[in-house]
Amino acid sequence: MIQFPSNAFNAALHEGLFALSTLIGSGDVDALEAIRKILVTHVDFNFGPESNAVASLMELAHAKALVVHNFERKKSGFTDLLMLADTGSLDYKRFSFIIQLFLNYMNPKLNPFFHTSGTFEKGVAALLMSTGQRELPLCQESWPFRLGETIAATKGYVVFENEFLQLLWYPAKNKNAKEKPVFIIPSWINKYYIFDLSKNNSYVYWLNKKGISAYCISWVNPDRTFLDRSLSEYICLGVHLAAEKALSHSKTESLNFVGYCIGGVALTVYAGWLAKIKSKIIASLTFLSTPFDFEKLDGLKLFISEEQIDTIEDEIMAEGLLNGSKMQRIFALMRANDALIQGIIDQIYLEKVPKPLDFLFWNVDTTHVPGTLHMEYIRDIFLKNALLLKSECIAGIPTDLEAITCPVFVVGTKKDHIVSWKSCFAAVHIFPHTTFCLGGSGHVAGIINPPVPEKYGYQTNDNPTMDPDEWLSGATQHAGSWWNCWHTWVQPSLGKNCTKTKIDLDDIIERAPGRYAFKKACRLDEIEKK
């Protein structure tokens, strides 16, 4: 049994994981050396010349000894080692994660540049030439996406703004509109227009065609002046003030709230606070890929733990913000085969141009996150598993999650690499009237899955159960999109038909997507130079 020296190994792993997350873009020798040290210390493997860290890593990634006929034997040896070393600890899981990344990268079935010395040399040369790039060119300037023109182009208006957000209003297109609108809280890690991609993939456009008006928060892309902005400020001065504006603007007494990912976490805390003060402004709650049991976030737990928290906090507070590109790379590492390894092979080695995809365009349009806000989220919610435990005070906000009695609809997706569907399913332990729906695909494509074309399908189970495996074994598969399933479910909460709201020019600040959506996340090192 291999023993891991806890403190030193944790520190090395923390350094190595973040080195891996920047490896593709930076090619920094120190980053490569950090990874090499971890592997050479804990695995009996010849890395090549000790004096050249880049060449050593290339020897690991492309080693001529690991040709096709030899790979499976070597892979088997690594797997045996990992099985022998399995302590069940977080240390082991991080170690295994790193090894598996390299095993996948070396696999000749994925990487054609193992087969001959000629392509091996070409592949190494291509990768070394690319080390000056900050990141893989996942999105091309030639792509036909223009904010407000071909993407985020649904007709809408900014009707409220403050330093935290702009509130976008998308009026229903039908003459007989529904009385109670939808109020969307997106994650503050990316831009809001995941809900308004190209026309055929736009959730808000689809809602409007169904006669449902929608309000959607567009979060500010913060700079370092937001360092001390807290979770309570984002919820009370952000979400709550925007919801009050939506209520007065729509002239209704309640809203159908929809929260996505971290936006769903914020919605849970907000709903708990409203229940505490006995507010009745919630008609229904919908949670999309929202974590409720943080113990089931195995991928993210590799990067976030009690042992690492002080180091993470020092890094974030030194910059003043959580760098949006860092989060993007971490998420990519969590599905490295698709997001990194295949991208390296296709774009760097084979020089293929990525296919234009609206959700990839959105994915690289990152936002930063205020340091205090992010650390409160990690300490007070993530590490304490505060939602599942129904904490009575979350990040300084008094809550009563047990008092939430409105209808709740929860969507998880089967291949979600960020928020496992079982973490989403845990909502049944929090809310008494929960309908759970399991979509196909992953964190983005499974949520933005319009009814046409019928891509991934979804599963439902009308028999209530508190166990996710039991739920899945009795679930029924349906063709089409969970959007239609949700639309049927939400009907009783939409209220009566009414004449659609007239557009009052006095209420309009500007047209959607609004100024906040256009603000790019500046590189923090560039901010420093200024």
The Cα–Cα gap between 324 and 374 comes to 12
The two structure tokens encoding residue 264: 């769903």
The Cα–Cα gap between 155 and 220 comes to 20
The Cα–Cα gap between 170 and 249 comes to 12
Active site residues: 261
Nearest CA among 462, 197, 500, 506 for reference residue 356: 197
- AA identity, residue 24: I
- AA identity, residue 152: A
| Continuous H helices in 289-340 | 298-301, 309-319, 324-333, 336
The Cα–Cα gap between 350 and 345 comes to 6
Is 125 exposed, middle or buried, given 0-12, 13-18 or 19+ CB atoms closer than 10 A?
A: exposed
Is 149 exposed, middle or buried, given 0-12, 13-18 or 19+ CB atoms closer than 10 A?
A: exposed
Q: Measured between alpha carbons, how far is residue 467 from residues 93, 214, 401, 430, 485 in Å?
A: 25, 34, 20, 13, 22
Q: Which long-range contacts (CB under 8 A, 24 or more apart) does 521-530 make?
A: 521/221, 521/323, 521/324, 521/325, 521/365, 521/366, 521/367, 521/368, 522/223, 523/134, 523/325, 524/319, 524/320, 524/321, 524/323, 524/368, 527/223, 527/224
CB atoms within 10 A of CB 50: 10
Element (H, E) at 255: strand 255-260
The Cα–Cα gap between 122 and 130 comes to 12
